[in-house]
């Protein structure tokens, strides 16, 4: 059974770019790309940066899921709220395999007053508190509620050697 993620401190240094960019998944009206991956020495780990953009019906679904739905577990009357959803990033490296939560996320929406079209841009960063021993990270992305299919990629990171760190 793989280990689960243990929360660690996220670095505030720039790190070293070890991969990117790469289109991870797309469907009509929605796409997600890996902007880049950074390796960090103190604390040790990798930060994955993703960019998702959506237009039309998929953007409306993304906006409903991330912006319009309550994110709290209870509504004012004390009943369970209707939760929204978010893009899912599942990562496997070494003997770790789990869904990785956002470390930071920003969402912007734009409604075109002339055409009525909606556009959504999402920038998200995900922190993994260790480096892959073999330089390989398996990532799976999906967001079925917004029309983004499940796709898996094997990333081979160009990790710095001991002298380069």
Is the bond preceding residue 43 a cis peptide, omega within 30 degrees? Answer: yes
Distance CA(53)–CA(1), nearest Å, equals 35
pLDDT (tens digit per residue) in 11-47: 777 889 999 899 999 999 999 999 999 999 888 889 9
Structure tokens of 30? 């929605």
**The pair of three-digit structure tokens given for residue 37, joined into one six-digit string:** 């991956």
Yes or no: say if 87 and 141 are a contact pair by the CB < 8 Å rule.
Answer: yes
Query: Is the predicted pLDDT of residue 164 greater than 50, yes or no?
Result: no
- Predicted TM-score of the model (pTM): 0.82
Residues 6 or more apart from 4 whose CB is under 8 A from it?
Answer: 96, 98
Distance CA 87, CA 32 (A): 9
- State the pLDDT at residue 73: 47
Residue 163 predicted with pLDDT over 50:
no
pLDDT band at 94 (very low <50, low <70, confident <90, very high): very high
Domains and their CATH numbers in the chain: 17-69+84-156 (2.60.40)
Place of tokens 């898996």: 152
């Amino acid at each position: 059974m793989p280990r689960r993620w243990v929360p660690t401190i996220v670095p505030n240094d720039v790190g070293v770019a070890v991969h990117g960019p790469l289109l991870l998944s797309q469907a009509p009206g929605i796409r997600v790309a890996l902007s880049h991956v950074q390796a960090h020495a103190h604390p040790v780990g990798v930060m994955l940066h993703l960019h998702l953009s959506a237009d039309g019906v998929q953007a409306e679904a993304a906006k409903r899921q991330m912006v319009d739905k309550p994110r709290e577990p209870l509504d004012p009357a004390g009943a369970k709220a209707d939760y929204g959803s978010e893009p899912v990033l599942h990562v496997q490296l070494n003997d770790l395999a789990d869904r990785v939560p956002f470390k930071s996320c920003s969402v912007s929406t734009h409604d075109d007053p002339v055409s009525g079209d909606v556009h959504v841009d999402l920038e998200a960063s995900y922190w993994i508190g260790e480096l892959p021993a073999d330089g390989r990270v398996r990532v799976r992305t999906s967001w079925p509620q917004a029309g983004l299919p499940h796709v898996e990629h094997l990333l081979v990171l160009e990790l710095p050697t001991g002298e380069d760190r």
